[in-house]
Structure 1
Amino acid sequence: MTERPCIIILLLFALILPASGQVRVRVFARQNPSSVVFSVTRGKYELDVFDGKPVQVAEGDPVILARYQNKIAVKTLQERSFLCDSLIVKELTDDCAFMLRLNDNTQLRRTYSGDLLVHSDLGIMVFINICDIEKYIAGVVRTEGGAGRNSEYLKSQAVLARTFLYKHFSRHLIDNYNMCDGTHCQAFNGITTDQAVNKAALETKGLVALDPDSNLIISAFHSNCGGETSTADNVWLSNHSHVRKVIDPYCLHSPNATWRKTIPLAEWTAYLKKNGFNPGKNEKVSYSFSQLTRQNDYVIGSFSIPFSRIRNDLKLKSTFFSVQQEENNIILKGRGYGHGVGLCQEGAMVMASRGFKFREIIGFYYPDVIITDIRYAKVVKNDF
């Protein structure tokens, strides 16, 4: 009777944390392609359809994979064509790489490493890349953080990307993969040849950010905080002690520090009325509102509306803005770009350029966190 709970706990660990140093990423999740061209860019691969003889694919050999009803149509260079429910393309040598190109879009092509699983699900082709975790982390950092950055900044992004991966490793487990390649998880456009990014991932291998209770933190980041980061409850309606408001002097002169938008007064009034504002027929209303420090709601008398709703509805750069009425126009004077929670990327870049190390950068935006190996983290359920 005492063995069963132990077995269950071990199974949970196996499901949530990877044992092989690999991650399963669904690629082209948003594009839903009807066909792709697979080609080997480095090494050798083997195409296995599970119910037939494996087909070797050499460097440069194209393989067309197309959706056909609820099947996958496969056509190789040798003019061999067949239908299947699923297939796996396995690497046969070390350090292999392959390219996927959308057949109807010659511009959208991405390079991956590791293996590729393909199956049909209700008429949709699902592509799952099984790759090394650190190569995945480097790809995320390159996609999310950009190129030509200071190494300490890249290391800070690598630690946060790895923390997110492990915290949400079971997010898509019911669908047989861990992460998608869009912003629902982490943007991932394949492996990168940027040596600085690859080096940053390897030099921080296994490192994650934990709170004082050894829980993986919410490793959020954004482009620019406008001089003040936001608490988590201001964005996700749940508070976390390690996600605090931080006054940030480093990003104030960066490209996304400020913004401005003009909206006709009639349009602004109509929007507010749509959300429950009732000014009265003869009542003179002042729409001006000063947000010197981050606040949750825009307030006019007894009426209030969350800044987060205004931002989402009007597609604004941030929730950190003041409202100024000028004759027949409303001027929104904004600060920052993004949700404002966690690490400010432009601020972190400035810190790195001034000699701060990645641990100091993360510690500035996440006070009291611990940077340590994933082995010391508690395994917990997803927070959101």
Structure 2
Amino acid sequence: MRVGLAFWSLLCWSLLVPSAQATELVRVLLFQDVQRVDVSAGEGMTVRLSSGDERAFETPLIVTSLADGIAVNGERFQTEGVTVRGRQDLRVEVEGQIEAQRPDRPIERAAVFLRPLSQGATASPGPSPVLQATEPTGTMVVSGSLHVLRRGQGLMVINAVDLEEYVKGVVPSEVSSSWHQEALKVQAVAARTYAVYQQMMNAGRDYHLVSSIQDQVYRGRHGVDPRVQQAVEDTRGIVVTHLNAPILAAFSSTAAGQTEDAVNVWSKDLPYLKGVECPFDTNSPYYQWRTSFKVVELETNLRQKGMAVGSIANVSPLSYSRAGRVAMVRILHSNGELILRGEDLRRVVGYAVIPSTQFELEAVGSELVLSGYGAGHAVGLCQWGAKELAELGYHFPAILQYYFPGTELKDARLLESVSPSTP
């Protein structure tokens, strides 16, 4: 990566004029399968039913699911959903299952944050003590409006929010707001691009994105400070494009040497998601790790996923990707042989237990011990690599175009009639 690239990208960037605030709203699934939703605001709120009727209510507002409709502050309505608006930000609390999930997508999609591991430590699931953004909570403060829909046996809570406000809620949930300002701009553009891509791909659904790591972690107003706001404002409306269309702007924590080809992770052969060298993230707390899990736990997890395995005798890497990650794993068991993708092994055992597929494996008694590098799928942007490049003086356009080769930065308003860049 040459200094000339950074200078040229910055020069080209200076010719672009950021767009006015996007008028399109992003629909973000916050919570699902809940029985009760409490909403409060500084002043009164209005509630619109799916029929179009609108009523004024005092704060707080309690929405509950009924067999034949929805109740608002105890008043029953035969409706499939309500839209809640306030003059100020809305505070929403829920009871019941709270984690937003896509049924059609594995847990790890855009980003993953894991507990930092020191050499010799054992991995354990849980939120990162640094970023604290792996799991949604039952309380959130958001701008925009709330759609509360009756789906199945519970309620689905969706935040309809301005794109730029959404990006402000993503940036501090994905990286620390104390990072270099150019790194925050990188994250802002990546988050915006990913949102616009999903907005186009899911236009006909109830929601475009979920608020968990299946898409991007979004926690509303939480963590939005002046540095985050400035990074979003400085990049307002700008997205990463390929062939004049928004890209699938994948990102993960730590690539540890080289990013990965998307085709090896998601079977998507995208020209802008090809692996590049990434020697910039050695300061990441996730750069090197050691983890272990019991063989019997692997057997149980495989069976729970519908794979008929007997007693496991041996687990070993079968093949490697161009970037040196475990592509396929062979599992020999009493009923035969099972071949798994490396990413599927992570999914079965747990993404927090196996941080990445860049590992060596050995059997120690009844346990499998993995020694490895990096965290996440390593496709696209490396967040810790971007942090280091920003500290070295590179500007956000150069960083993004390095990790997404063959792309351009453009104003999102010019892409409204263009389909996302897919295979």
Question: Which secondary structure state, in structure 2, belongs to the residue aligned with residue 147 of structure 1?
Answer: coil
Determine the C-alpha separation between the residues in 2 that align with 1:23 and 1:205.
15
Aligned: 1:81 with 2:85: no
TM-score by length of 2: 0.71
Aligned: 1:62 with 2:60: yes
Residues 268 and 127 (structure 1 numbering): CA distance in 2 closer, same or farther, change over 3 Å? closer
| Residue matched to 1:135 | 165
Shift of 1:327: 7.6
User: For structure 1, which segment, 242-251 or 300-309, has the greater mean C-alpha deviation from structure 2 after superposition?
Assistant: 300-309
Aligned: 1:102 with 2:94: yes
Residues 317-332 of structure 1 correspond to what in structure 2 (within 5 A)?
317-324=355-362, 330-332=368-370
Determine the C-alpha separation between the residues in 2 that align with 1:198 and 1:328.
50
| Residue matched to 1:235 | 265
Aligned: 1:373 with 2:411: yes
Shift of 1:97: 0.7
Residue of 194, 203, 221 corresponding to 1:191: 221
Determine the C-alpha separation between the residues in 1 that align with 2:96 and 2:192.
33
Letter in 2 for 1:100: V
The answer on whether the counterparts of 2:185 and 2:235 sit within 8 Å (CA) in structure 1 is yes
The count of aligned residue pairs is 349
| Residue matched to 2:343 | 308
Determine the C-alpha separation between the residues in 2 that align with 1:338 and 1:238.
17
Letter in 2 for 1:261: T
Determine the C-alpha separation between the residues in 2 that align with 1:305 and 1:23.
36
Residue of 7, 21, 25 corresponding to 2:24: 21
Shift of 1:326: 6.2
Determine the C-alpha separation between the residues in 1 that align with 2:297 and 2:72.
53
Shift of 1:245: 1.4
Letter in 1 for 2:275: K
Aligned: 1:293 with 2:324: yes
The answer on whether the counterparts of 1:156 and 1:362 sit within 8 Å (CA) in structure 2 is yes
Q: Deviations over 1:65-95 (max 9, x none)?
A: 11122321111xxxx734341322234x5xx
Aligned: 1:351 with 2:389: yes
Residues 150 and 330 (structure 1 numbering): CA distance in 2 closer, same or farther, change over 3 Å? same
The answer on whether the counterparts of 2:272 and 2:404 sit within 8 Å (CA) in structure 1 is yes
Residues 276 and 202 (structure 1 numbering): CA distance in 2 closer, same or farther, change over 3 Å? same
Shift of 1:278: 12
The answer on whether the counterparts of 1:277 and 1:303 sit within 8 Å (CA) in structure 2 is no
Determine the C-alpha separation between the residues in 1 that align with 2:168 and 2:23.
18
The answer on whether the counterparts of 2:318 and 2:328 sit within 8 Å (CA) in structure 1 is no
TM-score by length of 1: 0.77
Shift of 1:298: 4.2
Shift of 1:170: 3.8
The answer on whether the counterparts of 1:70 and 1:124 sit within 8 Å (CA) in structure 2 is no
Q: Name which one, 1 or 2, has greater alpha-carbon Rg.
A: 1
Determine the C-alpha separation between the residues in 2 that align with 1:108 and 1:151.
30
| Residue matched to 1:33 | 34
Letter in 1 for 2:38: V
| Residue matched to 2:377 | 339
Question: Which secondary structure state, in structure 2, belongs to the residue aligned with residue 296 of structure 1?
Answer: strand
Determine the C-alpha separation between the residues in 2 that align with 1:299 and 1:224.
26
Task: Point out where structure 2 has 5 or more consecutive residues left out of the alignment.
Answer: 1-20, 99-136
The answer on whether the counterparts of 1:48 and 1:87 sit within 8 Å (CA) in structure 2 is yes
| Residue matched to 1:144 | 174
Q: Percent identity?
A: 26
Residue of 221, 225, 241 corresponding to 2:251: 221
Determine the C-alpha separation between the residues in 1 that align with 2:340 and 2:232.
42
Determine the C-alpha separation between the residues in 2 that align with 1:104 and 1:304.
38
The answer on whether the counterparts of 1:289 and 1:323 sit within 8 Å (CA) in structure 2 is no
Question: Which secondary structure state, in structure 2, belongs to the residue aligned with residue 355 of structure 1?
Answer: coil
Shift of 1:183: 3.0
Determine the C-alpha separation between the residues in 2 that align with 1:154 and 1:234.
28
Determine the C-alpha separation between the residues in 2 that align with 1:56 and 1:311.
48
Letter in 1 for 2:402: F
Residues 105 and 19 (structure 1 numbering): CA distance in 2 closer, same or farther, change over 3 Å? closer
